[in-house]
Amino acid sequence: MKAIGYTDRGPISTETAVVQFETDKPRPSPNDLLVEVRGISVNPVDVKVRANRQPPDGEPHILGFDAAGIVKEAGATTTRFKPGDEVFYAGDVTRPGTNAQFHAVDERIVGRKPSSLGFAEAAAMPLTSITAWEILFDSFGLNDGEGTGDSLLVIGGAGGVGSILIQLAKKLAGLTVIATASRPDTRAWVEKMGADHVVNHRNPLDEEMRALGIAPRYVAALTQTDKHFAAIVELIKPRGHIAMIDDPQDLDIAAIKFKALSFSWEFMFARSMFQTEDMDVQHQLLNRVADLLDDGTLIPTVNMHGGEMGVASLRSALELQESGTAIGKTILDGFSPA
Ligand SMILES: NC(=O)c1ccc[n+]([C@@H]2O[C@H](COP(=O)([O-])OP(=O)(O)OC[C@H]3O[C@@H](n4cnc5c(N)ncnc54)[C@H](OP(=O)(O)O)[C@@H]3O)[C@@H](O)[C@H]2O)c1
């Protein structure tokens, strides 16, 4: 099969950062589905894995996490899907990626593809939806469908995660959502995703929130958390909850004591990485997200369709992702079916 990987960690512009090659089709384990990949999206984790994981000499490592496609084979113990089913999922950071014609994935982290979306458009959704869902309903402990009258500040609102978190927070958790954006385009985007208010993360966020007159109970720190952390502690309600998803180098965790804040570090790959007993909740939540997309409760978060998967198109998509200025999600169609 065709696949695209990298053989070294150099700048994305170098030849070895994006390499197309031929390799064997993966063999599905008993819990796996073998999926023909028909659409993918890129994520910051593609950039981070490439920056941190040097493949052994000459062996390209296949990147890619989000995918949508068609089940070609179902492993011996699978029960949720059968060949021919259309699925979407965010993969597993410990396994080879989805930038390939075929991909093997544990069915417990796979959902049915929304029928109203094309494959690539569907592939924009899984990784960010799982992250946003786990922030709201695992970390914050909110209840799906039960509004609390509280507010949520989403820092990095126009990014991939912010785009779906704003929607889920409003539509399912009934929160008032304040999103941060620093440019006219990102401001317009977070408003389209449903943000009630927009503040600018280029200014101190405690000052921005004071001017708005809202002290949120919840803060989702999606990016640049170390830069915003002191302001978050200042602006949040006492006994509030901060959830973070990025990788700050230096965080003064003692600062949360006097407001008795809760703090969570969400990692959407934790369930698959540690094969937790409740891995199947990601299957269930993806099915629910598919329903919500199909009935129009949620809108797709695609902003850029980069064409069919290939060295040039994937390199451009990764360059945009690396720039830190992505709006919503960037998607590619899979390789043409063999
Ligand atoms: N732990 C997990 O499970 C998990 C899951 C998904 C993602 N992540 C991590 O979460 C982070 C965000 O992911 P993403 O996909 O949403 O990213 P993204 O799409 O790359 O985010 C881009 C957005 O970040 C905003 N931004 C840039 N500088 C900022 C700043 N100083 N303060 C606030 N916002 C800023 C930009 O808005 P403007 O252009 O308006 O400035 C831009 O729209 C990444 O580090 C990713 O690796 C973790």
What does 14-45 look like in DSSP terms, one character per residue?
A: SGGGSEEEE-PPPPPPTTEEEEEEEEEE--HH
pLDDT in tens, 106-139: 999 999 999 999 999 999 999 999 999 999 999 9
Given the structure tokens 């589905």, which residue do they identify? 33
pLDDT at 338: 65
Task: Give every CB contact of residue 203 below 8 A, 6+ residues apart in sequence.
Answer: none
Task: Give every CB contact of residue 79 below 8 A, 6+ residues apart in sequence.
Answer: 107
Domains and CATH numbers, the chain: 2-125+277-333 (3.90.180.10), 128-265 (3.40.50.720)
- Closest atom of ligand 1 to CA, residue 44: 47
HEC per residue, 250-274: CCCHHHHCCCCCEEEECCCCHHHHC
Given the structure tokens 């901060």, which residue do they identify? 242
Q: How far apart are alpha carbons 120 and 124 in whole angstroms? A: 7
Instruction: Examine the pLDDT at 337 and tell me if it is beyond 80.
Output: no
Task: Give every CB contact of residue 231 below 8 A, 6+ residues apart in sequence.
Answer: 204, 205, 206, 207
How close is the Cα of 156 to the center of ligand 1, in Å?
Answer: 5
Work out the average pLDDT over 238-249.
97
Cβ(157) to ligand 1 under 6 A? Answer: no
How close is the Cα of 324 to the center of ligand 1, in Å?
Answer: 7
Q: Count CA atoms within 13 Å of residue 298 on its CB side.
A: 30
Task: Give every CB contact of residue 225 below 8 A, 6+ residues apart in sequence.
Answer: 155, 232, 244, 246, 248, 251
pLDDT at 56: 84
Question: In degrees rounded to 5, what are phi and psi of residue 177?
Answer: -115, 125
Instruction: Examine the pLDDT at 196 and tell me if it is beyond 70.
Output: yes
Task: Let me know: does 47 contact 159? Beta carbons within 8 Å.
Answer: no
User: Which own/partner contact pairs does 262-267 have at CB distance under 8 Å and 24+ positions apart?
Assistant: 264/135, 264/139, 264/140, 266/131, 266/134, 266/135, 266/138, 266/139
pLDDT at 147: 80
Cβ(328) to ligand 1 under 6 A? Answer: no
How close is the Cα of 44 to the center of ligand 1, in Å?
Answer: 8
Cβ(159) to ligand 1 under 6 A? Answer: yes
Given the structure tokens 């000499």, which residue do they identify? 57
Distances in whole angstroms, Cα of residue 155 to Cα of each of 165, 167, 201: 11, 14, 7
Work out the average pLDDT over 5-25.
92
Instruction: Examine the pLDDT at 1 and tell me if it is beyond 80.
Output: yes
Instruction: Examine the pLDDT at 57 and tell me if it is beyond 90.
Output: no
pLDDT at 74: 98
Cβ(267) to ligand 1 under 6 A? Answer: yes
Cβ(155) to ligand 1 under 6 A? Answer: yes
